[in-house]
C-alpha cells in the first residue's frame, strides 16, 4: 500500500520510521517532510496546510492511506476534504478537531458531560480578565483559546505575571487570532502525563502512557514550549489509574463527541494531571503528541499501518497493541532562543556518529538541507531517542547520542526522565 504522511516534524519522522518497517507498506510519501524522512520515503514539496494540493496529489498517486501529523491541517478540514474525495485518512474531522483548536469548546464539553477537569472562566475582553485576576487569589493558569503550538499557556504565581500574560495574549496579540479569547482556569498541582488512545468513534484503545517535559529549562522552569523531551512508560500512570482514565475520561469523551454530532476518529490525546492519585484533564489534542510519539514508536511492537487502518476502517474493537517492556527516552535539541526567536541555518554536526549507536534513532524536527549539509530550520531541531532495558539505561543511551551532535547555540534539558527514575 501507498501511504502519505502530512507534516515535517519529529512526530512525522517517527511515524515514517515505524511505517517503513511494515510489510504492508510499498511506498511512503511525506509532505513536505524533512532531511530525516527523505531516507525513508519520497518527500513532496507540498505544505501541510495546502489541503487542495495534498488532495490532488493523493488522488493522482492513488494513496491508500493518509496520516495527518500536525493539528493545523485538521482545523482546515483536511479529513473532510479527503473523505469527500473517497480517500482513506487517519485524523478527526474539522468539527471533531475543535476539541484541540478551542480550549473553550473542550472545557464546556467536559463540564457538560462531567469529565474531570479544573474549573475555568472564559474572557473575550482583556479588562474583564484583569479584573478577575485582581479579585481572585493566585496561582492562575492563563491560556489562549486557539492553537499556539503549545506556547499559549502561562502558569502565573502572582497577579502581576497574570496581568502580563493577559496583555501579551489579548492586547499584544502574541498568538494572533488564537488569543482573541482566553480562559483562566484552576491551577492543578501534581504530576502531568500524556495519555493517548486510538478510537474509531466507538471502540477506544489506549496506547502506552508517556510523559512530556513542557518547560524549556531543567526542573520544569521557564516558559512553555512544544515539548523538550518525553519518555515512556510513565510510572505515574499505574494499571489501576489507566483503567480509571479510560473509564472516566477517554471513553466518556468519545461518547460525548458522538452525542454532540462530532464523531471522533483518530488519536485522542489527553494531557492529564495526576493529583492525590486522581486524574483530571488539562487539555485535549486531536493528534499524536510531539515529542511523545518518538518514544512510543520506539516501544511499539505491532505493525503501525495495521493499527491505523483498523482505526480508519472501524475495526478497533478487537485490537490490543503490544509494547516492548523496555523504556524509551527522547531528548529534544533546540535552537538558541527557543521558544522565543531563534537563528536558522546553523550546520548540524555528528548526525552520522549518533546514527551508528545501537538502539538510537535521531528524529529530525526543524532541519533542512543547504549546500548538501543538514542545517537548523526550526526551534526544536532534533529528537534524540533511545531504547533501553530500563529508564536509566534509556536515559544514558539518549544523552550519549546527544553528546555526539552539535550545532551553534544548541540547548537541551539535562533532566529528561528523572521523574521516572525517582518513581523507581
Quick: pLDDT tens for 341-386: 999 999 999 999 999 999 999 999 999 999 999 999 999 999 999 9
Query: Which residues, at least 6 apart from 237, have a Cβ–Cβ distance to it below 8 Å?
Result: 193, 195, 209, 245, 272, 274
Residue 422 has what pLDDT? 87
Angle at 73 between CA 88 and CA 331, to 5 degrees: 100
Residue 375 has what pLDDT? 98
Rounded Cα distance between 252 and 256, Å, is: 6
Tell me the CATH class for 191-318: alpha beta
Phi-psi label, residue 336: left if phi above 0, alpha if psi -120 to 50, beta otherwise: beta
Q: Closest by alpha carbon to 291, among 236, 368, 213? A: 213
Residues counted in the chain: 424
Residue 151 has what pLDDT? 78
pLDDT of 321 > 80? The answer is: yes
Across the range 20-32, mean pLDDT stands at 97
pLDDT of 419 > 90? The answer is: yes
Q: List every span in the chain annotated with CATH 3.30.470.20.
A: 191-318
CA distances from 319 to 205, 248, 377, 379 (A): 7, 21, 39, 37
Instruction: Report which DSSP code applies to 250.
Output: I
Q: Is the dihedral of CA 175, 139, 229, 89 positive or negative?
A: negative
Cell of 335: 535552537
CATH classification code of 327-423: 3.90.600.10
Q: List every span in the chain annotated with CATH 3.90.600.10.
A: 327-423
CB atoms within 10 A of CB 165: 25
Is residue 331 within 8 Å of 143, Cβ to Cβ? no
The per-residue pLDDT for range 118-144, each reduced to its tens digit, is 999 999 999 999 999 999 999 999 999
Angle at 206 between CA 202 and CA 210, to 5 degrees: 145
Q: Is the dihedral of CA 115, 67, 93, 106 positive or negative?
A: positive
Residue 152 has what pLDDT? 87
Rounded Cα distance between 159 and 178, Å, is: 23
pLDDT of 7 > 80? The answer is: yes
- When the pLDDT of each residue in the chain is averaged and rounded to a whole number, the result is 96
pLDDT of 12 > 90? The answer is: yes
Residue identified by cell 528524529 is 363
The per-residue pLDDT for range 220-261, each reduced to its tens digit, is 999 989 999 999 999 999 999 999 999 999 999 999 999 999
CA-only gyration radius of the chain, Å: 20
Instruction: Report which DSSP code applies to 139.
Output: P
Across the range 30-36, mean pLDDT stands at 98
8, 9, 14, 18 alpha-carbon torsion, rounded to 10°: -20
Q: List every span in the chain annotated with CATH 3.30.1490.20.
A: 120-185
Confidence of residue 219 (pLDDT cuts 50, 70, 90): very high
In 213-306, at which residue ranges do the beta strands (DSSP E only) sit?
215-217, 221-224, 229-232, 266-275, 278-285
* DSSP string of 155-183, one letter each residue: EESSHHHHHHHHIIIIIS-TTGGGGSSEE
Q: List every span in the chain annotated with CATH 3.40.50.20.
A: 2-91
Residue 60 has what pLDDT? 98
* Reported pTM: 0.95
Write down the H helix ranges in 246-355: 251-259, 293-299, 304-312, 351-355
CA distances from 193 to 177, 304, 384 (A): 28, 23, 20
Cell of 42: 519520497
Across the range 307-329, mean pLDDT stands at 97
Query: 348-384 burial by CB neighbour count: b if 16+ within 10 A, else e?
Result: beebeebeebebbbbbbbbbbeeeeebbbbbbbbbbb
Tell me, which fold does domain 120-185 have in CATH? Answer: Dna Ligase; domain 1 (3.30.1490)
Rounded Cα distance between 411 and 376, Å, is: 13
Cell of 210: 508517556
For domain 2-91, the CATH architecture is 3-Layer(aba) Sandwich (3.40)
Is residue 78 within 8 Å of 49, Cβ to Cβ? no
The per-residue pLDDT for range 270-298, each reduced to its tens digit, is 999 998 889 999 999 999 999 999 999 99
Amino acid at each position: 500500500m501507498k501511504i502519505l504522511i502530512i507534516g515535517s516534524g519529529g512526530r512525522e519522522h517517527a511515524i515514517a520510521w515505524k511505517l517503513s518497517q511494515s510489510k504492508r507498506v510499498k511506498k511512503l510519501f511525506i509532505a513536505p517532510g524533512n532531511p530525516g524522512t527523505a531516507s525513508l520515503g519520497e518527500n513532496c514539496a507540498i505544505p501541510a496546510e495546502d489541503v487542495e494540493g495534498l488532495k490532488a496529489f493523493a488522488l493522482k498517486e492513488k494513496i491508500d492511506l493518509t496520516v495527518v501529523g500536525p493539528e493545523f491541517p485538521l482545523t482546515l478540514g483536511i479529513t473532510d476534504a479527503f473523505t469527500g474525495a473517497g480517500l482513506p485518512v487517519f485524523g478527526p474531522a474539522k468539527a471533531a478537531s475543535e476539541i484541540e483548536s478551542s480550549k473553550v469548546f473542550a472545557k464546556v464539553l467536559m463540564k457538560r458531560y462531567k469529565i474531570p477537569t479544573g474549573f475555568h472562566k472564559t474572557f473575550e475582553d482583556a479588562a474583564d480578565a484583569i479584573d478577575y485576576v485582581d479579585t481572585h487569589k493566585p496561582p492562575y493558569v492563563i491560556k489562549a483559546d486557539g492553537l499556539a503550538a503549545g506556547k499559549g499557556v502561562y502558569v502565573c504565581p502572582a497577579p502581576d505575571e497574570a496581568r502580563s500574560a493577559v496583555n501579551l495574549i489579548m492586547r499584544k496579540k502574541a498568538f494572533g487570532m488564537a488569543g482573541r479569547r482566553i480562559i483562566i482556569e484552576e491551577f492543578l498541582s501534581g504530576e502531568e502525563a500524556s495519555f493517548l488512545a486510538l478510537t474509531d468513534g466507538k471502540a477506544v484503545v489506549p496506547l502506552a502512557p508517556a510523559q512530556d517535559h513542557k518547560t524549556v529549562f531543567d526542573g520544569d522552569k521557564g516558559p512553555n514550549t512544544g515539548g523538550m523531551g518525553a519518555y515512556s512508560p510513565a510510572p505515574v500512570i499505574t494499571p489501576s489509574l489507566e483503567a480509571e482514565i479510560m473509564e472516566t475520561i477517554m471513553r466518556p469523551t468519545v461518547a460525548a463527541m458522538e452525542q454532540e454530532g462530532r464523531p471522533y476518529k483518530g488519536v485522542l490525546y489527553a494531557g492529564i494531571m495526576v493529583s492525590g492519585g486522581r486524574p483530571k484533564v488539562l487539555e485535549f489534542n486531536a493528534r499524536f503528541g510531539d515529542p511523545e510519539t518518538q518514544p512510543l514508536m520506539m516501544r511499539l511492537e505491532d505493525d503501525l499501518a495495521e493499527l491505523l487502518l483498523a482505526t480508519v476502517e472501524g475495526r478497533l474493537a478487537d485490537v490490543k497493541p503490544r509494547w516492548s517492556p523496555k523504556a524509551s527516552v527522547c531528548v529534544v535539541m533546540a535552537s538558541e532562543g527557543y521558544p522565543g526567536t531563534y537563528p536558522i541555518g546553523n550546520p548540524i554536526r555528528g548526525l552520522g556518529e549518533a546514527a551508528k549507536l545501537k538502539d538510537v534513532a535521531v528524529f529530525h524536527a526543524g532541519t533542512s538541507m543547504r549546500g548538501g549539509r543538514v542545517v537548523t530550520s526550526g526551534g526544536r531541531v532534533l529528537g534524540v531517542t533511545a531504547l533501553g532495558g530500563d529508564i536509566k539505561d534509556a536515559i544514558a543511551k539518549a544523552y550519549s547520542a546527544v553528546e555526539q551532535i552539535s550545532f551553534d547555540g544548541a540547548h537541551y534539558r539535562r533532566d529528561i526522565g528523572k521523574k521516572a527514575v525517582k518513581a523507581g
